[in-house]
Amino acid sequence: MARALEEFTNEPPLDFAREEARSAMAGALAEMRARLPLLAGPIIAGKRLEMAGETEIRSPSDLNLLVGRCAMGGAAEANQAIGAAEQAFPTWSRAPAPERTSIFLRAADELRRRRLEFAALEVFECAKPWREADADVCEAIDFIHYYAREALRLSEPRPMQPQIPGERNDLSWHPLGVTAVIGPWNFPLAIPVGMMSAAALAGNTVVWKPAEQSPLVVALMMELLERAGLPAGVVNLLPGRGEDAGQTLLDSPRVRMVAFTGSKEVGLHILRACAGVPVGQPFVKRTVIEMGGKNAMIVDASADLDAALIDILASAFGYSGQKCSALSRLIAHEEIYDPLVERLREGAASLKIAPAWEPGCQLGPLIDAAARAKTEGYIGQGRAAERSIYVGEAGELAARGHFVAPAIFDGLPVEHPVVQEEIFGPVLVVLRARSFEEALAIANDTPYGLTGGVHSRTPAHLELARERFECGNLYLNRGTTGAIVGRQPFGGTKLSGIGAKTGGPEYLQQFMISRATSENLMRHGYAPIKGEVV
């Protein structure tokens, strides 16, 4: 029996300024640490596969801490998962939408009860600081609730207008088939759960591949879904490497759709792979691809610099810059450039670098050694240009984990790699503009188009930004990160991705096919089914 759904409301984050919230989170961290290391692996058709060999997942904050071990599936397991999803599709796709939503809402209720457990695991596995980890769990809950309501809305045919006498015209929505969901590590629960729940609530069956760096929290969510009553084979967990398990999903003529969030390089590879139509594939594979950004914030001459500084630091260095929405280019009007740069230098130097489990952590480590090496390489390029505003030091923490201190550069030419390329680390470049129009031109001079921001107290400039800023999400007089489901549907343009915005009213439709039906009601006579009582 489906339950009646109230109007959608967002899950409120915890206020860690309150003692009871801090105490609860500290307790959850202690309990989770006592459970480590966790074990994970493929779950296909409701069965946990026994596999030889496991990958160790170590905490980015302290490489001596073993968070868990995960068996990674390959091509054989990917094909097995596709087969299980195929077998489950006929029954799941025909299940009434209220039945599907009830299962997922039970899972969301349980996730709400266990939110600190999941947040604690993110702190250890992905080095999410307290607020970031809690917010990620809240967003996962939001996605399920928002998409459940959308699934119910789309389950009823929509009468088309104008209707005319003697004819019925409507538009209905139907699931596609087997969907591969390939998630990122930087929002290790929210984004994978959002893509997976959208696909499954729409009536599709799913092969769910988490990022190699963050399979444990997704595996914990998979167990929760099973306890909520999700039938075997509807969602099949496939931790694995992109070059074998992931590539098998892309190449399979039995996979109807691929949903991905991650880097531009991988996203474009997925688009190329899915564009082909191999023998035996009777459809063009659909894709929803969210990629990266080289996001800009403009600080106008009229801006409140105190408010701007808070938003700059949070947007550039929150989660160590490891967000596709993170601020990486700050464009300041020349009238306020020098005082803003001085405040920015002091603000960056005041950030507390610490392991993610410390409550005062403002800047934790990067996710792995490759990310650290890449970021340090860009910092080296900025140093070589002798344009440093501030380059911090991680100290002894750098020997324990993947810590990189924040770095800020100015005066670099617009074609410089630090200005143009996505870094995914705590690196910010400051650029000077002589006018607001020039600042907009600099902001738009990038192949990306994800988020943008403006700090200004000039209404005409805010309106100009609304018209001309080339980005998917524009933030005026606030930070450029932290989009909220329903309130700020999220997604970019240009090389930042394709598809409708996640957490918005069009997102679920991408996982379905629309069918227009026209019926002539002026029929002659009536032919009942044999045995039907007329």
**Are 290 and 400 within 8 A, CB to CB?**
no
**Quick one: 172 exposed, middle or buried, by C-beta within 10 A (0-12, 13-18, 19+)?**
middle
DSSP line for 174-209? EE-SEEEEE--SSSTTHHHHHHHHHHHHTT-EEEEE
Give CA torsion, residues 70, 75, 81, 86, to 10 deg.
Answer: 170
pLDDT in tens, 263-285: 999 999 999 999 999 888 999 99
For 10-32, the pLDDT digits (tens) are 999 999 999 999 999 999 999 99
Nearest CA among 42, 48, 285, 260 for reference residue 178? 285
The residue among 316, 306, 311 whose CA lies nearest residue 336 is 306
Report whether pLDDT(452) > 90. yes
Q: Which of 15-29, 139-153, 342-356, 516-530 has the lowest mean pLDDT?
A: 516-530
| Residue written as token pair 């591949």 | 209
Q: Are 96 and 82 in contact (CB under 8 A)?
A: no
How many percent of the chain have pLDDT more than 90?
Answer: 94
Distance CA 68, CA 40 (A): 8
Stated length of the chain: 534
On the 0-12 / 13-18 / 19+ scale of CB atoms within 10 A, 264 is: buried
Neighbours of 373 (CB within 10 A): 12
Confidence of residue 157 (pLDDT cuts 50, 70, 90): very high
Question: Which among 202, 147, 183 has a CA at the least distance from the CA of 260?
Answer: 183
**Residue-level pLDDT at 202:** 98
253 pLDDT exceeds 50?
yes
User: Is 324 annotated in the active site?
Assistant: yes
Closest CA to 245 of 37, 513, 398, 49: 49
Q: What is the mean pLDDT of residues 327-353?
A: 97
Q: Where are the beta strands (DSSP E) in 104-255?
A: 158-159, 167-175, 178-182, 205-209, 235-237
Tokens encoding 130: 């307290």
Residue type present at position 272: R
Amino acid at 270: I
Q: Work out the average pLDDT over 393-412.
A: 96
Non-local (6+) Cβ contacts of 257 within 8 A are 176, 177, 178, 179, 180, 199, 204, 285, 286, 287, 288, 511
Cα gap 14→137, rounded to integer Å? 11
Q: Crossing angle for the helix pair 115-126 and 19-35, nearest 10 degrees?
A: 60
Q: What are the tokens at 64?
A: 């001596």
Q: Which two tokens stand for residue 223?
A: 């167990």
Closest CA to 77 of 106, 53, 111: 53
Q: Quick one: 197 exposed, middle or buried, by C-beta within 10 A (0-12, 13-18, 19+)?
A: buried
- Is the pLDDT score of 42 beyond 80? yes
The structure tokens listed for 450 are 């994800």
Spot the catalytic one: 11, 132, 290, 422.
290
Average pLDDT, rounded, for the chain: 96
Check if the beta carbon of residue 295 is closer than 8 Å to that of residue 327: yes
Confidence category of residue 220, pLDDT binned at 50, 70, 90: very high
Nearest to 517 by CA among 158, 204, 175, 150: 158
pLDDT digits (tens, 9 = 90+) for 61-76: 999 999 999 999 999 9
If you average pLDDT over residues 78-104, what whole number do you get? Answer: 98
Cis omega (within 30 of 0) for bond into 359: no
Asked whether residue 52 carries a pLDDT value surpassing 90, the answer given is no
| Radius of gyration from C-alpha coordinates of the chain | 25
User: Between 190-201 and 130-154, two packed helices, what is the crossing angle to 10 degrees?
Assistant: 10
- Please compute the mean of the pLDDT values over residues 292-300 and round it to a whole number: 97
pLDDT of the residue at 136? 98
Whose tokens are 């994800």? That residue is 450
Alpha-carbon gap, residue 339 to 123, rounded angstroms: 36
pTM score, two decimals? 0.96
- Asked whether the beta carbons of 436 and 333 are under 8 A apart, the reply is yes
pLDDT at 2 over 50: no
Residue 524 has pLDDT above 80, yes or no: no
Nearest CA among 363, 361, 84 for reference residue 235: 84
Residue-level pLDDT at 525:
75
Cα separation of 124 and 361, whole Å? 13
In the predicted structure, residue 534 carries a pLDDT above the cut 90: no
Please say whether the beta carbons of 490 and 502 come within 8 A: yes
Q: Dihedral of CA 447/449/451/455: which sign?
A: positive
Say what the pLDDT of residue 5 is. Answer: 81
According to the model, what pLDDT value does residue 4 have? 62
Residue 89 contacts residue 177 (beta carbons within 8 Å): yes
CA dihedral (472, 478, 482, 487) positive or negative: negative
**Which of these ranges, 300-314, 322-336, 377-391, 501-515, has the smallest mean pLDDT?**
377-391
Tokens matching residue 525: 């006579």
Cβ-contact 395, 417 below 8 angstroms: no
End-to-end CA distance of the chain: 30
* Known catalytic residue at 393: no
pLDDT at 532 over 90: no
pLDDT band at 3 (very low <50, low <70, confident <90, very high): low
What mean pLDDT do residues 214-239 have? 98
pLDDT at 419 over 80: yes
Residue tagged active-site, from 126, 324, 361, 471: 324
Q: What percent of the chain has pLDDT over 70?
A: 99
**Triad 270, 272, 278: Cα angle to 5°:** 100
Pairing state between β 47-48 and 43-44: antiparallel
